[in-house]
Chains A and B, each alone.
Chain A
Amino acid sequence: MAMTTRCSDSVVLNLWHPLGALAELPVDTVVDTVLLEERLSLAVGPDGTVAVWRSCAEFAAGDKIDAASVCNSLPAKVAYGYLWASLGCPPDELFPIPEYDETDRRRLNAATFGVNVSAPRAIENFLDMGHFPYVHTDILGVEPHTEVKEYDVDISVERDEILATRCRFFQPLASSASQTGAEVEYIYRVPHPYCSVLYKSSPVDGARYDVIAVFMQPLSQETVRAHMMLCILDEDNEDKVIKRFQQTIFGQDKPILENQFPKRLPLDPRAETPIRADKSAIAYRRWLNRKGVKYGVIPAPN
């Protein structure tokens, strides 16, 4: 990770970025991580106080520390079970996920995986239903149900996020709580350049949706830590069974993501064939372009 490639993209510097799942962080202990090629350290207090700072020789990973006593810390907050931080001037609020406050849901980090891919490529893959039958065979799709049916994509102006609705797909095993195959309805949101929130009809309550989010922590332009947040309706399965389901799916995506070429997402509308770049992908690329995101993408020529 050469110094010269360090992030100078002010749009990305000013975002909130996820650093880790709170449930997995040791209390009052220095933990090291990387964000946008900067080495950061973080600590969580027993009362939920958090601190994030640029790593320094004074505090090494594993040292005991009182999170509340850290000065010179970066903007940091807790949301959706994760610690978030920013290297710039972030907005007050992170994007909303109201379902996270519904108390009958299981809320957990399915896993945090290191992936050799740019954050935008990973988000774009998350939006694509076309790969279900081929990559997640017998789980999220199965031949001959390969057609991606017509759906709607909007860019919500007041919320500044992408919204894909009326997405439907036949799934043999939509979730850890599924008993049979079913036509599943999806809603995708992209409320942050490197995060996406997916709603899919719940197999246990036809009126509600399971919520699955992917929060990408960009380590560099071409590597991420992918955090997978689950907020789902499932009263029967143990946490580890729910995690296993999601990890199985992500493990299938991983080689696909890591074999994307080029690793950065090209924003030039002519860069890739329209088959790969379907409707929501096109909207996502345009949205990134309009925002002026440069990090993790190949910017369109103006």
Chain B
Amino acid sequence: MSVAAQPAAASSKVLGDLYARNAKSVMWRGYTATKTNTYLVIVSGFFEPVFYLLSMGIGLGALVGTVATTTGQEVPYAAFIAPALLAVSAMNGAVYDSTWNVFFKMNYAKLYEGMLATSLGPLDVALGEISLALARGALYAAGFMAVMQALGLNLAWSAILALPAVVLIAFGFAAVGMAITSYLKTFQQMDWINFFMLPMFLFSATFYPITVYPEPIQWIVQALPLWHGVELVRGLTTGALSTALLGHALYYVVMIAVGLVVTTRRLRHVFLD
């Protein structure tokens, strides 16, 4: 058959056998698998942050009143935590998809082994899996932002930019998550990921301003990825635009680049050694 005979990656020889420009087939596979199986996971991923927002934002918000953002702007408590929850749910979804899911597919389902026996390269697999996680994350984010809009928590026009920002955040976490997962051998090691994620969720200026911490602690928090995500999304939804936002975005661009390079190398090492 002539179609099969065409060299799959002829025009992308820079990446050699790493990339066959066919990440979309990996996404298609994920879509088909989701269709075949339950929709429940998808629905629950949407509701979790909404419940947080309603209980803490509305409930606690009544006691707290307003809070000052990094730029000094006073905003209602619900408007303060909503963007943080958006960033957190992007992180959680991306990390779940790129760690637990990927770990299982790599080690138990032998899914990638099958994929890499075709004309796909490791980069196709990595990009396809990550894109799928992002598509799902974007869907959740759009839903959550609709809720924010309904509750009047999008304070500025720039809130619309929070959507691509969330995708960027998810991309960063997914790329790094997949890279880390490719080194892990047992489920026990996977627990370390949760061990790291929970405190990051609680302390990254999610529920109160970073200024409550002494300065050295602030530095630590500022070194962690989630803080940059929270600040980026909060800046956009509250309209506190500054060049700092570009710095936050850059943090994620670096995560993506490093994550993709490491993941591709590792997939190649593990499956094409």
Q: Do A and B bind each other?
A: no
Interface residues of A (CB under 8 A from B): none
